[in-house]
């Protein structure tokens, strides 16, 4: 009975695939690789233990305040080597957009902000390529808002930042 129910659920998962996409699904602790090519479907179980879970190096919640209707820079994302050279800017994605405003991601030059005990502290004196995160609330709105961003750095590190925004 248990195998029949599992097969029925697996068939439902397979039927859900459309548009000839390759998808990876987790089902009952087993990763199942499903490939749809030219109308044919192949299913092959994979060992979950061999696939590392993608987990952010840091997941932070940051409280910010903003004046209603004005543009405000919330943060910058950059990647600098100890000699202040860069290998490129991080990739930033808005996971959850604000309900009462908008987030703008701008690539440009700006000053990094390393702490005094960081070996890159001297880089703070020089402009570097970075992604600037700007927030603007809807005009006249006062109250809470929120946004969630995911950042992938050029070295592969992954960061997840959630912003609680208090619009005044």
- Return the pLDDT at 166: 97
* Structure confidence at residue 87 (pLDDT): 86
Q: Record the tokens describing residue 100, joined without a space.
A: 């009462």
> In the numeric block, which tokens belong to residue 47?
């060992």
- pLDDT (0 to 100) of residue 13: 41
Both tokens of 115, joined, read 């702490």
Query: What is the pTM for the complete model shown?
Result: 0.63
pLDDT value of residue 53: 52
The CA-CA-CA angle for residues 105, 106, 108, to 5°, reads 150
Q: What per-residue confidence (pLDDT) applies to 17?
A: 37
CA dist list (Å): 1 to 22, 30, 129, 148, 149: 30, 19, 60, 43, 44
**What's the pLDDT at 41?**
42
Please list the rounded mean pLDDT of every run of 10 residues in the chain (168 residues): 46 39 36 39 45 62 94 93 92 96 95 94 95 96 96 91 96
Which residues make up the CATH 2.60.40 domain(s) of the chain? Answer: 58-167
Residue 91 confidence (pLDDT): 95
pLDDT on residue 59: 78
Structure tokens at 106: 């701008």
CATH 2.60.40 fits 58-167, yes or no: yes
What per-residue confidence (pLDDT) applies to 57? Answer: 67
Identify the pLDDT of residue 55. 56
């Amino acid at each position: 009975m248990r195998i029949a129910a599992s097969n029925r659920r697996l068939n439902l998962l397979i039927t859900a695939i459309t548009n000839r996409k390759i998808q990876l699904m987790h089902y009952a602790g087993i990763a199942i690789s499903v490939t749809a090519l030219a109308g044919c479907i192949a299913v092959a179980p994979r060992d979950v233990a061999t696939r590392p879970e993608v987990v952010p190096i840091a997941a932070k919640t940051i409280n910010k305040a903003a004046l209603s209707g004005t543009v405000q820079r919330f943060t910058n994302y950059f990647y600098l080597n100890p000699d202040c050279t860069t290998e490129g800017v991080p990739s930033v994605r808005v996971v959850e957009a604000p309900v009462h405003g908008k987030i703008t991601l701008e690539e440009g030059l700006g000053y990094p902000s390393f702490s005094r005990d960081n070996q890159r502290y001297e880089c703070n004196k020089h402009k570097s390529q970075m992604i600037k995160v700007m927030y603007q609330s809807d005009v006249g709105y006062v109250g809470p808002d929120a946004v969630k961003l995911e950042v992938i750095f050029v070295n592969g590190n992954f960061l997840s930042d959630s912003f609680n925004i208090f619009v005044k």
